[in-house]
Amino acid sequence: MTMSAARPGATDGASASSPARYEDAVLGFRNHWYPAMFSSDVRETEIKTLRVLGEDILLKRVDGRVYGVRDECLHRGFQLSKKPECFTKNTVTCWFHGFTYNLADGGLVGIPSDPDSKLIGKLKLRSYPIEEHKGMLFVFIGDIEPPPLSDDLPPEFLAEDMHVVPFHQQEVASNWRIAADSASELNHTFIHKRDALLDYWRQPLPFAEIPRGNNPYEGWILHEGPGFKGFTDAFGDAIPVFEYKFECDGEVGVVRAAYDPAVEPGSVAFGNMEATLALPCGLRIGPWGANPGDPESANYWHYEWYVPVDETHHRYLIAWGSKVANAEEALRVEHDVRTRWSYLEYEGFNASDITANEGSQRAYAEDGYEFGEKENLSRSDGYVLTWRRIAAKHNRGLQVRYGGKK
Amino acid sequence: MTMSAARPGATDGASASSPARYEDAVLGFRNHWYPAMFSSDVRETEIKTLRVLGEDILLKRVDGRVYGVRDECLHRGFQLSKKPECFTKNTVTCWFHGFTYNLADGGLVGIPSDPDSKLIGKLKLRSYPIEEHKGMLFVFIGDIEPPPLSDDLPPEFLAEDMHVVPFHQQEVASNWRIAADSASELNHTFIHKRDALLDYWRQPLPFAEIPRGNNPYEGWILHEGPGFKGFTDAFGDAIPVFEYKFECDGEVGVVRAAYDPAVEPGSVAFGNMEATLALPCGLRIGPWGANPGDPESANYWHYEWYVPVDETHHRYLIAWGSKVANAEEALRVEHDVRTRWSYLEYEGFNASDITANEGSQRAYAEDGYEFGEKENLSRSDGYVLTWRRIAAKHNRGLQVRYGGKK
Amino acid sequence: MTMSAARPGATDGASASSPARYEDAVLGFRNHWYPAMFSSDVRETEIKTLRVLGEDILLKRVDGRVYGVRDECLHRGFQLSKKPECFTKNTVTCWFHGFTYNLADGGLVGIPSDPDSKLIGKLKLRSYPIEEHKGMLFVFIGDIEPPPLSDDLPPEFLAEDMHVVPFHQQEVASNWRIAADSASELNHTFIHKRDALLDYWRQPLPFAEIPRGNNPYEGWILHEGPGFKGFTDAFGDAIPVFEYKFECDGEVGVVRAAYDPAVEPGSVAFGNMEATLALPCGLRIGPWGANPGDPESANYWHYEWYVPVDETHHRYLIAWGSKVANAEEALRVEHDVRTRWSYLEYEGFNASDITANEGSQRAYAEDGYEFGEKENLSRSDGYVLTWRRIAAKHNRGLQVRYGGKK
């Protein structure tokens, strides 16, 4: 993978690779891999654009491989994607003055008005390492030699027998950390208590969980060794909450989950599920059952990401994976997800997450909002604190606005 | 009236209660009562939202009484009104994680994931004292023990025999001070010189007034004692201007008011009218005649307010009042205002004020505009200076952006 | 020409008249003449508004002459053009409080509420010197005694035998300097290589040019003496580029201009053309041929301007001129430009310039973009450097936001 050169005469928008504070990471963590798009979004010869962590990238697929370069000419800043010209398959020529770049490494290969310029072969447009796996494109945003992609993914995503079906992506109007914080804890499932998916599934998803012991942090598996960094919450380690009672001025309020395992048998074993949140911003949760009411069919893993776009938006991507033994099983999973779960899961469940995250953005964006100060109001908020602590400890640097260092 | 608690761990957006400079009060004065809405806007069980002085408030009517709490969960900032859940009539539950609050005082009454939390019964969402009179809702924005509502209203609004008909409210795209400044002086009536209402009314409203003496400040009644603070301009104390002549390069321009008392008899006695501007932002003007051309019928009082919404908008509310002896008279006033004056007054008169105030916003908003520096260009600008002086002396503190203290 | 007075009590938004750095001139250079509109845009008695260099101006034509004053009342900042009242032909009265100004010099001539005010005849609204020539209106933005208009125009525009047809104006979403920089060099013509105008014209416009000698700066004519300031690039002094070849990863890319003089005879003599860029922001380029393929018919001069509107927009105006011997010839030119070239030239050529300039705005606007640092990447970038050097040396001062000095 070729590393991109810094712009001439410019200190780049990159920081060092020392870990950044979570509070500061409004644009995300630098020097990580991020999912960018689905493979099917970029067909051969096609040019697409992407904004990730505040950087604008031009993508093109050439002979099957996708390349990415900064979407801005070195010369006078013209947005290359506005009118891209490709006079050979692996180059992009700036429409403005004809500066031409090699897509593979961003290298300048020609200038119409200065054909013998010494800068040719020397200057480089920033180029972005890109890898493609399981129907998804991953882009590395950083300055260091990229680590293995698997270091930046939730577990088993790249496993050979994992068949993955990416099925939803959209931009969400909230900072990425609101989504990551929510993903770290099971108490936000209060939003899902009436979601259509649960009705279909006969799935006893609680709307909160209470730590069993006095120490809310015990029972979690921290991943701080080699490979991906993050933590796993095994649902069975806490007490699931299916009923919520409170009293106010003599009146009692009662809220119950749509599906209650105490009175409705035959459901998936909730206690076997787990959620793993991994740096920089990916979640795996499962296993989910393929057949309503059949715990034995629990063979689906839900993967999702909250990729920083800018200070107030993130890109939400969802993929489902299932372990398969052969191509026939993979095809069955493919059909099953695309014809059934893609709709049930998004419309009937994850759309609520988007509402929740967007509904918190105003408070986060307010001048003076003390980031993270409020989360420690219930014992279960230890989830969020733990995620932030691990994220702050293991990230590889702060992303700052291009040019923002000066 | 229950006082709201500050947020945990946060210095609140409140200032001390010492008077603020008028120049600084871009968001208005804190620790005052403001009209919020009309009573009919919030029906039993209904939830409404309101932005006042930059604060977002959720309103709900329970058993006839309207309560107000900050529209943002203490926990992770979710906007409560986005998907409010009420599992008992006097609570609101945050849709995100289920934190539940008592609407009456903002008290936290339950957390699904931490039912025995010590914070329950201890933490409070900011709650807003609300009073309801004469078909209007008033909200107190501040930190001190609220003074009597009548201290923050133009005279006689709460008088028992005053029948009030609130009939217009809208958001105006100007800072509230532009409207308050205009209201303080009678010279802006230049904008009304062709307004339809005057034609209908046979009302000799001048389009400027000239102080009788050398001291432009004499003749005004300052209200600086107990009760509301403000000043009254008795129209009869100045010389009304019905004709304006100027000369430019040998040509003479003449402007005349639509209705001239010198040549058109039978009108309301203009000289008996007066205008009172009261802190924080209310005006009473009158008495106006009920019947065109009949000075004897002058029994209507016009009330209006310019409630700060944010830095560049205010809420404009209009109500008319008339003293009545019994229910029958009250009903007649009600019908009269709603079927005749509500249209004539707004479309035929006050809409011009909105145009004037919005047309000055660009200059006020410009970087470097010296607030208040320009107003002293005519002798009559003493009105504005007087209003600003009284406002600066008697307000109860500066409103700053929530969190803006850090 | 009457000079406007500063506002009372305000330090004006004007800087001294010492030359400003090009990097700082985000709002343009002060103390220069700028084209404002076409004559036909302001008919007798009509009031129009204009934003130039961040200043808002009200224009009115009185007895054939156009006057301009600041579009903001001295008193309380009301935007005069919002509801202008003219009670004599050469005044404008503020709709809000009736302050009345002489359009000719901005002088205050009357106040309804203070008819004997000493300020009358003393205070002045800022007034703008305006000249009208060749069907265009020019406005002087500055504080000094305006120099002759011809000092701020590309050559020969005001020549008596030059018949000018102004035919296009629009606002462009880019800072004015992006457009001026592009205009200074012939290499941006890469954008025109497929433009419809060239096909029609049989015009061998190269898409780049290479300096003949080692010194890229030689061969240009600098205009630094009396009269307008700027520089002229005689196209014949450089080697025109009609073919561009580059190599990337073993593949060769070739780009050719639509019209190649080497193989297509009969065209206009490209080598006779020249471009002159003049302070503050005007370009003349030509001569262009009136008849396709006929070098003898080269008698048209293209004039264009990039007038700063605000930090991120400029006004683009185009006029064509041709020397004529009599009224009959002038009429023929008028028809020729309006029926043929106005469409061919704008749609088929200059629209590409707008795309180029707007496509560079994102990079220019980015926080931290080092203005001008990137342009020196090819030998031909000497054009841009030369323009910036001359502009920085000969401009008459920096324009700053109204009130921005405090």
Span C326-374, pLDDT tens digits: 999 999 999 999 998 898 889 899 999 999 999 999 988 875 556 655 5
pLDDT at A396: 97
Q: B47 CA to chain A: closest CA distance, Å?
A: 17
Q: Could you report how far apart the first and last alpha carbons of chain B are, in Å?
A: 29
For chain B of 406 residues, list the mean pLDDT of each consecutive stretch of 10: 34 62 94 97 95 97 97 94 95 96 97 92 96 98 96 98 97 96 91 88 83 70 95 87 94 88 66 92 92 80 97 97 96 94 90 96 74 64 87 96 56
B102: chain A residues, CB-CB within 8 Å? 248-249
- Beta strands in A235-374, from DSSP E residues, in sequence order: 238-241, 243-248, 251-256, 274-278, 282-289, 298-310, 313-323
pLDDT at A5: 35
CB contact under 8 A, B98 and A370: no
What is the percent of chain A with per-residue pLDDT over 90, rounded to a whole number?
A: 67
Residue A307 has pLDDT above 50, yes or no: yes
The count of other CB atoms within 10 Å of the CB of residue A218 is 11
Measured between alpha carbons, how far is B302 from B275 in angstroms, rounded to an integer? 9
Measured between alpha carbons, how far is C400 from A337 in angstroms, rounded to an integer? 60
Measured between alpha carbons, how far is C94 from B111 in angstroms, rounded to an integer? 60
In degrees and rounded to multiples of 5, residue C210 shows phi and psi of -115, 125
Residues B221-227: contacts with CB under 8 Å, at least 24 apart: B222/B386, B222/B390, B223/B276, B223/B278, B223/B390, B224/B390, B224/B393, B224/B394, B227/B150, B227/B151
pLDDT at C382: 81
ipTM attached to this prediction: 0.90
Write out the DSSP string of C22-61. Answer: GGG-TT-BSSEEEEEEEGGGS-BT-EEEEEETTEEEEEEE
| H-type alpha helices, B24-100 | none
The count of other CB atoms within 10 Å of the CB of residue A7 is 21
Residues of C with CB under 8 A from a CB of A: 178, 181-182, 187-188, 190-191, 207-210, 241, 244-249, 251-255, 355-356, 359-360, 362-364, 366-370, 373-375, 377-380
The neighbouring-strand residues paired with A50 are A57
Mutation to test the B interface, candidates C113, C117, C402, most B Cβ within 10 Å: C113
**Residues sharing a CB contact under 8 Å with residue A278, sequence separation 6 or more, in sequence order:** A152, A153, A154, A155, A223, A228, A229, A230, A284
**Residues sharing a CB contact under 8 Å with residue A53, sequence separation 6 or more, in sequence order:** A27, A28, A30, A34, A141, A307, A308, A309, A399
Measured between alpha carbons, how far is A251 from B359 in angstroms, rounded to an integer? 52
pLDDT at C264: 72
Indicate the angle between helix axes A382-394 and A176-183, nearest 10 degrees: 120
pLDDT at B14: 44
pLDDT at B7: 35
* pLDDT confidence band for A215 (50 / 70 / 90): low
Chain A adjacent subunits, 3+ CB pairs under 8 A: B, C
A380: chain B residues, CB-CB within 8 Å? 113-114
**Residues sharing a CB contact under 8 Å with residue C173, sequence separation 6 or more, in sequence order:** C312, C313, C358, C361
- Please tell me the total number of residues recorded for chain B in this structure: 406
∠ Cα B43 B45 B51 (to 5°): 70
Residue C14 has pLDDT above 60, yes or no: no
Secondary structure letter of residue B118 according to DSSP: T
The minimal CB distance from A208 to the residues B98, B402, B404 is found for B98
Q: What is the pLDDT of residues A341-370, one digit of tens each?
A: 988 889 899 999 999 999 999 988 875 556
Among C176, C241, C208, which residue's Cα sits nearest to residue C377? C208
The neighbouring-strand residues paired with C237 are none
Measured between alpha carbons, how far is A377 from A394 in angstroms, rounded to an integer? 25
CB contact under 8 A, B112 and A187: yes
CB contact under 8 A, C82 and B377: no
Measured between alpha carbons, how far is B74 from B124 in angstroms, rounded to an integer? 8
CB contact under 8 A, C112 and B241: yes
Residue C269 has pLDDT above 80, yes or no: no
Q: Are strands C100-102 and C91-93 parallel, antiparallel or unpaired?
A: antiparallel
Q: Could you report how far apart the first and last alpha carbons of chain A are, in Å?
A: 29
Measured between alpha carbons, how far is C388 from A199 in angstroms, rounded to an integer? 69
The count of other CB atoms within 10 Å of the CB of residue B287 is 21
Q: Are strands B243-248 and B251-256 parallel, antiparallel or unpaired?
A: antiparallel
pLDDT at B214: 65
Q: What is the pLDDT of residues B324-337, one digit of tens each?
A: 999 999 999 999 99
Tokens of C396: 């008459």
Q: What is the pLDDT of residues A62-115, one digit of tens each?
A: 999 999 999 999 998 999 999 999 999 999 999 999 999 999 999 999 999 999
B111: chain A residues, CB-CB within 8 Å? 377-378
Least confident piece of the model among A51-60, A123-132, B237-246, C304-313: B237-246
As a whole number, mean pLDDT of residues A274-289 equals 95
pLDDT at C149: 98
Set out the domains of chain A in order of their start, with CATH numbers: 35-134 (2.102.10.10), 146-394 (3.90.380.10)
Q: B93 CA to chain A: closest CA distance, Å?
A: 10
Tokens of B63: 């058993």
| Among chain A residues, CA nearest to B88 | A253
B38-49 burial, b at 16+ Cβ within 10 Å, e below that, comes to: beebbeeeebbe
3-state secondary structure labels for all residues of C283-324: EEEEEEECCCCCHHHEEEEEEEEEEEEECCEEEEEEEEEEEC
User: Which comes out higher in pLDDT, residue A24 or B264?
Assistant: A24
Amino acid B202 reads: R
∠ Cα C205 C210 C216 (to 5°): 130
C369: chain A residues, CB-CB within 8 Å? 77, 403
Q: A363 CA to chain C: closest CA distance, Å?
A: 25
**Residues sharing a CB contact under 8 Å with residue A330, sequence separation 6 or more, in sequence order:** A163, A324
pLDDT at A259: 76
What is the percent of chain C with per-residue pLDDT over 70, rounded to a whole number?
A: 90
Query: For chain A, how long is the longest CA-to-CA vector?
Result: 86
In degrees and rounded to multiples of 5, residue C2 shows phi and psi of -80, 135
Q: A362 CA to chain B: closest CA distance, Å?
A: 8
Q: What does the radius of gyration of chain B's CA atoms come to, in whole angstroms?
A: 23
Residues of C with CB under 8 A from a CB of B: 7-10, 13, 56, 72, 74-79, 82-83, 87-91, 93, 95-100, 102, 104, 109-115, 117, 119, 123, 401-406
CB contact under 8 A, A112 and C252: no
Assess contact for A273 and A301: CB atoms under 8 A. no
Indicate the angle between helix axes B176-183 and B351-365, nearest 10 degrees: 120
Q: What is the pLDDT of residues C62-102, one digit of tens each?
A: 999 999 999 999 998 999 999 999 999 999 999 999 999 99
Tokens of A193: 């208590």
Pick from A259-268, B14-23, C203-212 the range whose average pLDDT is largest: C203-212
As a whole number, mean pLDDT of residues A44-69 equals 96
Amino acid A372 reads: G
> CA dist B316 to A138, B35, B155, B159, C314, Å?
53, 10, 19, 22, 37
Residues of B with CB under 8 A from a CB of A: 7-10, 13, 56, 72, 74-79, 82-83, 87-91, 93, 95-100, 102, 104, 109-115, 117, 119, 123, 401-406
The count of other CB atoms within 10 Å of the CB of residue C140 is 25
> CA dist A146 to A33, B238, B278, Å?
8, 81, 67
pLDDT at C226: 95
Burial of C43 (0-12, 13-18, 19+ CB in 10 A): exposed
Tell me which residue has tokens 């890229």. Answer: C216
Count contacts between B and C (CB, < 8 Å).
144
Confidence (pTM): 0.91
Question: If residue C138 lies in a helix (H) or strand (E), which one and from where to where?
Answer: strand C136-141
Q: What is the mean pLDDT of chain A?
A: 88
Assess contact for B190 and B198: CB atoms under 8 A. no
As a whole number, mean pLDDT of residues A42-54 equals 96
Measured between alpha carbons, how far is C138 from C132 in angstroms, rounded to an integer? 6
CB contact under 8 A, C249 and A102: yes
Tokens of A344: 């049930």
- Edge to edge, the sheet with strand C32-38 lists C32-38, C136-141, C130-133
CB contact under 8 A, C363 and A401: no
CB contact under 8 A, C360 and A10: no
pLDDT at C216: 58
pLDDT at B403: 59
Tell me which residue has tokens 């030359």. Answer: C19
Helix, strand, coil shares of chain B, percent, nearest 5, are 25, 35, 45
Tokens of A327: 């191509």
Assess contact for A149 and A134: CB atoms under 8 A. no
Residue C144: how many CA atoms within 13 Å on its side-chain side?
A: 16
The minimal CB distance from C78 to the residues B359, B378, B379 is found for B359
Q: What is the pLDDT of residues C120-145, one digit of tens each?
A: 999 999 999 999 999 999 999 999 99
B51-81 burial, b at 16+ Cβ within 10 Å, e below that, comes to: bbbbbbbbbbbbeeebbbbbbbbbbbbbbbb
Assess contact for B52 and B59: CB atoms under 8 A. no
Q: Are strands C298-310 and A65-70 parallel, antiparallel or unpaired?
A: unpaired
> CA dist A59 to A56, A94, A125, A139, Å?
10, 14, 13, 10
Chain B adjacent subunits, 3+ CB pairs under 8 A: A, C
- Whether the upstream peptide bond of residue C292 has omega within 30° of 0, thus cis, is no
